[in-house]
A = this chain, B = another copy of it.
Amino acid sequence: MATQAAFVVKFPQQLARPSRVQGRPVPPAQVGIAVTRGSPGNKAVAAAAAPPRGVRCRAGGLIEPDGGKLVELVAPEEGGRRAALQREAAALPHRVRLGRVDTEWVHVLSEGWASPLRGFMRENEFLQALHFNAVRGDDGTMVNMSVPIVLAVDDAQRRAILASGATSVALVDDHDRPVAVLSDIEIYKHNKEERIARTWGTTARGLPYVDEAITNAGDWLIGGDLEVIEPIKYNDGLDQYRLSPAQLREEFARRNADAVFAFQLRNPVHNGHALLMTDTRRRLLEMGYKNPVLLLHPLGGFTKADDVPLSVRMKQHEKVLEEGVLNPESTVVAIFPSPMHYAGPTEVQWHAKARINAGANFYIVGRDPAGMGHPIEKRDLYDADHGKKVLSMAPGLERLNILPFKVAAYDRKHNKMNFFDPSRKEDFLFISGTKMRGLAKNRESPPDGFMCPGGWKVLVEYYDSLTPPEDSPKLREAVAA
């Protein structure tokens, strides 16, 4: 088996881990059992084990959210605030209609995934995100924030809002129903070229998020403080998986987690992932943690057209748990509501930062995270190692333990997924997402042990529904061949 890489990414040679982070001395790493919050069946347990070396977590509780307090922007159910806000929104003269991706950002902001952001970015935040991948908090410390979370308006809207002197606008859905109010607004130029160049490191046409949410968006951005009338729901049968950071924190506390390790994925889950997650838990136990819990956290927002849809991926996740590939006792499956940027090293910081806010103090980072092929050149858009490197050096993520993804591949000698062993590399078969989709499209079976049978069935059924054989002569041929 391959020599295991250092478990926690060390700061590179020239970058000793600071002993003081953002003005606060780094507390000596310590194992703490989460104090339960409002779950009477659980008792807080004092720290017991010796501190694992080089690993940091908050003693006696989950990692603190960025900015110290989880931001929640949904009007409280009690006290009539929702009805009042609804009336307030309905009475506002200006309405900005939310597109699909905008709504996902309202969702993200409303639950505090982007804490300490309290709404769509004003220009100062936007510029800091673009230039520094971090914004300065009220106390002067840097908080990681690598992707712009912004809302566009067009020329006519801007002129009307400015002419009226309005300081608030209603955000409405595609039936013109108020969803939220944005107040203390600021309108500033949406320089799309600069935004795209600084976020993706390219301006080539064909970036999925750009096509979906930027190219046809307005030339102005409107920032402000957000207050959302009701929790965002999608009514797609998956809302029960959409746990907010507060709900996740409550769940981790309920389970007495003393370490939470997050795994982001947007592709079908297979046994290589499961191997990695199981192995990570084993190693955290070896380090002295008593109850490391996995946050298995598929991304649920916008994805590009050829990615496997969320509904299919969620069915696969269910199978993985049903068939015991992962242990439900130590696994929380939930949906991360963010849209996908495919912005590689820039985006992986967002993926990690958001999970801190949900209580994760360990983050598993893979090869080429959030990467994709270059939209017009025959190469990957990002260097496969840059995501991990950038993440390990990112401002505002010093508190997070980065776990490098060990490469798993199909081991033909043992007929199962295994960590790649370069000493017998001829035994290993790498099954990329493209290859996996090709197999499923062709109704071929994957090698035994590549994916749990139920998970594979779900995938094949999806492709069946997508391209019925009668519509796809090529595929029929391929299947017949």
The answer to whether A140 touches B202, judged by C-beta atoms less than 8 angstroms apart, is no
Question: On chain A, which size bracket covers the interface?
Answer: 35 or more
Which residue of chain B lies nearest to A196 when distances are taken between CB atoms in the complex? B197
The answer to whether A131 touches B22, judged by C-beta atoms less than 8 angstroms apart, is no
The answer to whether A197 touches B202, judged by C-beta atoms less than 8 angstroms apart, is yes
Oligomer copy total: 2
Determine the distance from Cα of A225 to Cα of B128 in the docked complex, in whole angstroms: 31
Determine the distance from Cα of A17 to Cα of B139 in the docked complex, in whole angstroms: 7
CB A273 to nearest CB in B, in angstroms, measures 27
The answer to whether A17 touches B127, judged by C-beta atoms less than 8 angstroms apart, is no
A148-172, CB under 8 A of B: which get 1 and which 0? 0000000000000000000000000
The answer to whether A197 touches B201, judged by C-beta atoms less than 8 angstroms apart, is yes
The answer to whether B393 touches A127, judged by C-beta atoms less than 8 angstroms apart, is yes
Is there a chain B Cβ closer than 8 Å to A124's Cβ?
yes
The answer to whether B383 touches A189, judged by C-beta atoms less than 8 angstroms apart, is yes
Residues of chain B with a CB closer than 8 A to A141's CB: 18
Is there a chain B Cβ closer than 8 Å to A437's Cβ?
no
Is there a chain B Cβ closer than 8 Å to A16's Cβ?
yes
Residues of chain B with a CB closer than 8 A to A200's CB: 197
Q: A393 is contacted by which of B12, B136, B146, B395 (Cβ under 8 Å)?
A: B136
Is there a chain B Cβ closer than 8 Å to A20's Cβ?
yes
The answer to whether B19 touches A20, judged by C-beta atoms less than 8 angstroms apart, is no
The answer to whether A202 touches B203, judged by C-beta atoms less than 8 angstroms apart, is yes
Is there a chain B Cβ closer than 8 Å to A198's Cβ?
yes
Is there a chain B Cβ closer than 8 Å to A475's Cβ?
no
Among A11, A139, A201, the most chain B Cβ lie within 10 Å of the Cβ of: A201
Which residue of chain B lies nearest to A26 when distances are taken between CB atoms in the complex? B140
Is there a chain B Cβ closer than 8 Å to A216's Cβ?
no
The answer to whether A140 touches B16, judged by C-beta atoms less than 8 angstroms apart, is yes
The answer to whether B142 touches A395, judged by C-beta atoms less than 8 angstroms apart, is yes
CB A443 to nearest CB in B, in angstroms, measures 39
Which residue of chain B lies nearest to A393 when distances are taken between CB atoms in the complex? B128
Beta-carbon contacts under 8 Å, A1-58 to B: 11-24
Which residue of chain B lies nearest to A20 when distances are taken between CB atoms in the complex? B23
Among A132, A134, A202, the most chain B Cβ lie within 10 Å of the Cβ of: A132
Counting from the closest, the 7 A-B pairs by CB-CB distance are A18-B140, A194-B201, A20-B23, A197-B197, A197-B201, A12-B124, A15-B136
Listed in ascending order, the chain A residues whose CB lies under 8 Å from chain B are 11-24, 122-125, 127-128, 130-134, 136, 138-142, 146, 189, 191, 193-194, 197-198, 200-204, 345-346, 382-383, 386, 389-390, 393-395, 398
User: Could you list 9 A-B pairs, sorted by A, with CB under 8 Å?
Assistant: A14-B122, A15-B136, A15-B138, A19-B139, A128-B393, A130-B201, A132-B132, A193-B202, A198-B198
Since A11-B136, A14-B122, A193-B204 are in contact, a sample of 5 more A-B pairs with Cβ atoms closer than 8 Å, ordered by chain A residue number, is A15-B140, A17-B140, A18-B139, A21-B23, A132-B134
